Amino acid sequence: MMKRKGKYKKVMERGTERLLSASGAVTGIVILFIVIFLFREGIGLFRSPDVEKGYALYLNTKNPVEQLTPYEIKQIFDSEITSWDQLGGPNKAIRPYRVDDIFKEYPEEEWGDHYELLSGKLEEVIKSDPNIIAFLPQRYAPPVGADIKELPAKNITIAGFFGGKEWLPTATPSPLFGALPLISGTLLVSFLAILIAVPLSLGVAIFLSELATKKTRQVLKPVIELLAGIPSVVYGFFGLVVLSPAIQKIFHLPVGETALTGGMILAIMAMPTIISVAEDALDNTPRALKEASLALGATKWQTICKVVFPYASSGIVAAMVLGIGRAIGETMAVLMVTGNAAVMPVTPFESVRTIPATIAAELGEAPAGGAHYQALFLLGCILFLITTMTTVIAEFVSKK
């Protein structure tokens, strides 16, 4: 009896250990999964055609133009380019043509019961006009041959994504995925946030660890920690109702939702984190070092500058890096106060759109698996890489 019980116990013991190790492995697996899913969807963007899926562009064979960039296609259909000579063709006006136009030209009876007659009609239209460019669904496409050519669809390029200055993901026929405005918007807002938050936070951290009385410290530390826990959407709401009208008034702007507003809200949100990490670092300076410096006749400020700061520098840098990481990844507050204009920012007083805000604002309307969806995942990958880098840097620095 005793023996059996002992055996049972051993099996239990071993089973539990296995179970525990399995759950220990789960975090690793989760990270791996996130990486795989994000990148698989994201990289897929570079295998997507640069015109809408299922559609193609058709030209008359008399037209010498053989290739168009997505940006040129967009300009043609937005009537920003109106003549073929701007694209290396003859000096003739471009006639952009969409499938809707055929429905206007011919009465309903001539389309055929299942639209089977459309293709023939479209063939006639394109044949008759050398200056036409037709954007058509491939199911109704006219036969490509002696009179009609299809523009070869290229894939979206890496250079086009990272170097493109236009973010127009829902434009037809050619959506534009230029992430540069989003990347620079994110960097601008985060930079402003760090610019505001770091000096203030360091000041508060020094005050808390070196100057404040024990009682003040006991009151302030929990308050600051508490503020780190307040949901970002509440900060965003505050920014929306108080800060952005104030900024609009102070700087006489047409709208108050600017990069500066976003930077300020982010600074407020990042400060509690930076303060508590930096304060911990300052606090860890050995008392003996400080007292030795004071005993040599240095003032308290000299001691802080020359002894405490160098000793705590790695912790302070780690605090800053963590703050940057938080600022770059923050979504809701920024979405609510930056105005969300996907244009290249020039001054802090303009609306910008950050990477996380773009994902949050557009994912809902992007059809799953489409190029837009993939582009948003690629943005997620960028975000993931940036924050991973900041975590690794923070860890590396604080270990030193």
Partner 1 sequence: MDRKIKQRIAFTTFRIFSVSVVLMLVSILGFIVFNGAKAINWTFLTASPTEGMTAGGIFPAIVGTFYLVVGSMLFALPLGITAAIYTVEYGGETRIIRIMRIMTNNLAGVPSVVFGLFGMTLFVNKMGFGSSLLAGSLTLALLALPLIIRTTEEALKAVPDSYRTGSLALGATKLTTIRRVVLPAAFPNILTGIILSVGRVSGETAPILFTVAAYFLPHLPDSIFDQAMALPYHLYVLATSGTDMEATRPMAYGTALVLIFIVLLMNALVSLLRNSLKNKNSNE
**Segment 189-218, which members bind partner 1 (CB under 8 A)?**
199-201, 203-204, 206-208, 211-212
Here's the x/- map for partner 1, 56-95, by CB under 8 A: it reads as: ----------------------------------------
User: How far does Cα 216 stand from its chain's mean position?
Assistant: 40
Q: How far is the CB of 37 from partner 1 (least distance, A)?
A: 5
Ranges within 338-367 binding partner 1 (CB under 8 A): 356, 359-360, 363-364
Q: How far is the CB of 229 from partner 1 (least distance, A)?
A: 5
Q: How far is the CB of 50 from partner 1 (least distance, A)?
A: 23
Q: How far is the CB of 276 from partner 1 (least distance, A)?
A: 13
Q: How far is the CB of 72 from partner 1 (least distance, A)?
A: 31
* Nearer CB in complex with partner 1: 149/326: 326
Q: How far is the CB of 274 from partner 1 (least distance, A)?
A: 11
If we measure between CA atoms, which residue out of 375, 23, 5 comes closest to residue 176? 375
* Nearer CB in complex with partner 1: 103/301: 301
Q: How far is the CB of 234 from partner 1 (least distance, A)?
A: 5
Ranges within 237-266 binding partner 1 (CB under 8 A): 237-238, 240-242
Q: How far is the CB of 163 from partner 1 (least distance, A)?
A: 23
Q: Which stretch binds partner 1 (CB under 8 A): 15-23, 96-104, 130-138, 143-151?
A: 15-23
Share of the chain residues as helix, strand and coil, in percent rounded to the nearest 5 = 65, 5, 25
From candidates 27, 79, 91, 213, binder to partner 1 by CB under 8 A:
27
User: What tokens appear for 27 in the block?
Assistant: 């975090």
Q: Put residue 289 in one of left, alpha, beta given phi > 0 → left and psi -120 to 50 → alpha.
A: alpha
| 69 contacts: CB under 8 Å, gap ≥ 6 | none
Ranges within 266-325 binding partner 1 (CB under 8 A): 268, 271-272, 275, 299-302, 304, 322, 325
* Nearer CB in complex with partner 1: 132/179: 179
Here's the x/- map for partner 1, 377-396, by CB under 8 A: it reads as: x--x--xx--xx-xxx--x-
Q: For Cα atoms 37, 40, 43, give the angle at the middle one, nearest 5 degrees.
A: 140
From candidates 144, 226, 292, 346, binder to partner 1 by CB under 8 A:
226
Place of tokens 């912790």: 315
Q: Which stretch binds partner 1 (CB under 8 A): 20-28, 52-60, 94-102, 112-120?
A: 20-28
- For residue 87, CA distances in Å to 62, 82, 126, 135, 320 come to 15, 10, 19, 17, 49
- For residue 239, CA distances in Å to 26, 116, 245, 354 come to 38, 56, 9, 16
**Residue 59, φ and ψ in degrees, nearest 5:** -130, 160
* Nearer CB in complex with partner 1: 27/79: 27
3-state secondary structure of 169: coil
Task: Give the helix/strand (H/E) hosting 176.
Answer: strand 176-177
DSSP string, 122-133: HHHHHHH-TTEE
* Nearer CB in complex with partner 1: 195/392: 392
Tell me 227's DSSP state: H
- For residue 201, CA distances in Å to 278, 281, 332 come to 8, 13, 23
From candidates 11, 26, 158, 346, binder to partner 1 by CB under 8 A:
26
Cis peptide before 152 (omega within 30 of 0): no
| 335 contacts: CB under 8 Å, gap ≥ 6 | 236, 354, 356, 357, 360, 361
From candidates 81, 102, 224, 316, binder to partner 1 by CB under 8 A:
224
If we measure between CA atoms, which residue out of 316, 320, 228 comes closest to residue 268? 228
From candidates 8, 11, 31, 53, binder to partner 1 by CB under 8 A:
31
Q: What's the full length of the chain, in residues?
A: 400
Q: How far is the CB of 266 from partner 1 (least distance, A)?
A: 13
From candidates 53, 225, 251, 291, binder to partner 1 by CB under 8 A:
225
